[in-house]
Amino acid sequence: MKDRVVVITGASSGIGAVLAEKIGQRGAHVVLVARRERELAEVAARAGAQALPVVADVTRRADVERVLASALARFGGVDVWINNAGRGITRFVSELTDADFDDMMLVNVKSALYGMQAIVPYFVERGRGHLINISSFLGRVPIAAHRSAYNAAKAALNALTANLRADVGGKGVEVSLVMPGLVSTEFARNVIGTPSAVPPQWTPNAAMKPQTPEEVADAVAELIEHPRAEIYTNPASPEMARRYFEDLRGG
Residue ranges of the alpha helices (H) in the chain?
14-25, 37-46, 61-75, 98-105, 111-126, 137-140, 148-167, 213-225, 237-249
One of 122, 150, 232, 244 is an active-site residue; which one?
A: 150
CA 11 to chain CA mean position, Å = 10
How far CA 120 is from CA of 63, 69, 178, in Å, comes to: 16, 14, 18
DSSP structural state of residue 108: I
Question: Does residue 122 carry a catalytic annotation?
Answer: no
- Positions annotated as catalytic residues are 150
